[in-house]
């Protein structure tokens, strides 16, 4: 594999594609979506074999993937991402005249995208990073994830067919099938690379960041890494609502064998009879949910290792009814409990356990709960299970949470990330590497753009969008 050749081809393709119209990019994205749908049963079968997903999950993720491709087509067509600003010349202004100034966002260049292990479609080959980068006018080099290599190749073939149908250069999108770390490092460190998109582990994200620090010229690296997505339970609900909340949360913890970056891994509450009823009901619900197969052996192995490490910590009690299974890929849902002071004094308990596991933390006081919330790292989400009046009385928790997470949720669960204009899927490190941006929603396109100002340029030499 010749990395120099790959980046050279991508760079050459970028100089033309970066000047394409929003309409041309929109047509490409819509055609990619149609070609993915045209893969039909072959795509479904590939994902079933590689990822242990049921058909419903596959069809749902395919719908989301094609939906966000079409959403970014609308963004490209509208030009809303261009951030156009115009300040007319003021030659007679005193004491100094003002020149004619016009600003527009332009694409960065070739972008390296790493496929995610847990989303073979929505966060991989034609996922959100690829779709938003193509919408911005960037070329994409996709490093497929080895956990679903055949799926990645199928989707890459759909993109290739779409490029051919719209008459665009095949090098606008280049698929790299490699399982070694050195290939990823070489792609990121190549001087023609203009940006990086990654969804995965904290260690993987930090490794990519370290690669860019060794570059002569820095580039933006947008990594989505780890999150425990704390859920804060506030007392004051009627008994039937307590059990309803427990049932809702049990579903979120076990959804998809817990293999979501938004899986609720921490549950905070004040010691009380109501909170005891809540987590007892939660434990009962979880113990009745059958374990599901994880995507692959590595993910299942890491889940067991991280969970066992957490459960071995002093002061941790396993409260769910965990049973053994003969299938080594099955992830049995688990719920543990600890006291507030134990959690505060042991950073190991703050770490993400990627799978259907959650930790109940019971606090003695509001001050202790707030102390714990201050201590945890950056998060994608923070949820509140509470009545409106109760949460209003405890608004200090919101004041802390807003600086900890990218999305605050009221009486809901963090799983199920809507793809829309107002979504923020990001947060302070280590949730993401740059909390100013989102990886989901139309604003994800802003990651692959930079502003340029034209001063006193003749109209004929301005980009079409800046011309009067």
- Which residues are marked as active site? 224, 261
Residue whose pair of structure tokens reads 């809303």 in the numeric block:
80
Quick check: helix, strand or coil at residue 101?
strand
Among candidate residues 332, 336, 335, 334, the one with its CA nearest the CA of residue 316? 336
- Distance (Å, rounded) from C-alpha 90 to C-alpha 100? 8
Tell me the DSSP string of 334-350: EEEEEEHHHHHT-GGGG
Cα–Cα distance measured from residue 332 to residue 326, given in angstroms and rounded to the nearest whole number: 11
Burial of 234 (0-12, 13-18, 19+ CB in 10 A): buried
340 preceded by cis ω (within 30°)?
no
Q: Are the C-beta atoms of 36 and 158 separated by less than 8 Å? A: yes
Hey, how many other C-beta atoms are within 10 angstroms of the C-beta on 263?
Answer: 28
Q: How many CB atoms lie within 10 A of CB 459?
A: 10
- Angle, alpha carbons 330-332-334 (nearest 5°): 155
Q: Give the neighbor-by-neighbor strand order of the sheet with 140-143.
A: 173-176, 140-143, 111-114, 195-199, 221-224
Query: Residue 420, Cβ neighbours under 10 Å: how many?
Result: 12
Per DSSP, which regions of 241-356 are E strands?
Answer: 266-270, 292-293, 317-318, 330-331, 334-339
User: CA nearest 136: which of 220, 34, 257, 262?
Assistant: 220
- Measured CA to CA, the distance from residue 346 to residue 313 in angstroms comes to 8
- Quote the tokens at residue 428: 């302070």
Contacts of 114 (CB under 8 A, 6+ apart): 143, 145, 184, 196, 197, 198, 199, 200, 204, 208
């Amino acid at each position: 594999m010749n990395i120099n050749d790959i980046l050279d081809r991508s760079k050459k393709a970028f100089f033309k594609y970066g000047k394409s119209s929003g309409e041309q990019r929109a047509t490409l994205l819509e055609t990619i979506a149609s070609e993915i749908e045209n893969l039909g049963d072959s795509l479904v079968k590939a994902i079933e074999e590689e990822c242990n997903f049921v058909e419903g999950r596959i069809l749902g993720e395919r719908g989301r993937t094609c939906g966000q491709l079409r959403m970014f087509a609308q963004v490209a067509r509208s030009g809303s991402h261009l951030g156009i600003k115009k300040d007319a010349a003021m030659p007679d202004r005193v004491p100094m005249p003002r020149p004619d100034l016009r600003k527009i966002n332009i694409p960065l260049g070739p972008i390296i995208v790493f496929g995610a292990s847990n989303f073979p479609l929505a966060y991989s080959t034609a996922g959100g990073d690829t779709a938003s980068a193509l919408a911005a006018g960037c070329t994409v080099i996709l490093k497929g994830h080895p956990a679903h290599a055949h799926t990645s190749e199928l989707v890459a073939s759909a993109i290739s067919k779409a490029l051919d149908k719209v008459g665009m250069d095949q090098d606008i999108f280049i698929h790299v099938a490699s399982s070694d770390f050195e290939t990823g490092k070489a792609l990121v460190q190549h001087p023609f690379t203009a940006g990086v998109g990654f969804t995965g582990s904290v260690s993987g994200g930090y490794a990519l960041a370290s690669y860019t620090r060794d570059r002569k010229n820095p580039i933006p690296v947008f990594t989505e890494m780890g999150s425990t997505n704390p859920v804060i339970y506030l007392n004051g609900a009627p008994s039937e609502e307590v059990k309803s909340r427990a049932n809702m949360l049990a579903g979120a913890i076990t959804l998809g064998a817990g293999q979501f970056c938004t899986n609720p891994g921490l549950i905070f509450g004040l010691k009380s009879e109501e909170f005891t009823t809540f987590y007892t009901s939660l434990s009962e619900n979880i113990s009745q949910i059958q374990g599901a197969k994880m995507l692959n052996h590595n993910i299942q192995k890491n889940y067991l290792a991280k969970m066992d490490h957490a459960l071995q910590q002093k002061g941790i009690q396993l409260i769910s009814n965990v049973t053994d299974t003969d299938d080594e890929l099955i992830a049995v849902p688990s719920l543990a409990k600890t006291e507030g002071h134990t959690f505060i004094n042991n950073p190991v308990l703050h770490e993400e356990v990627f799978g259907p596991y959650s930790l109940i933390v019971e606090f003695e006081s509001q001050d202790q709960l707030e102390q714990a919330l201050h201590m945890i790292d950056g998060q994608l989400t923070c949820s509140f299970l509470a009545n409106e009046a109760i949460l209003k009385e405890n608004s200090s928790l919101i004041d802390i949470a807003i600086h900890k997470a990218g999305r605050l949720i009221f009486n809901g669960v963090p799983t199920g990330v809507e793809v829309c204009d107002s979504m923020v899927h990001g947060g302070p490190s280590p949730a993401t590497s740059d909390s100013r941006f989102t990886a989901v929603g139309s604003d994800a396109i802003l990651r692959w753009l930079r502003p340029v100002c034209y001063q006193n340029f003749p109209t004929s030499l301005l980009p079409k969008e800046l011309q009067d």
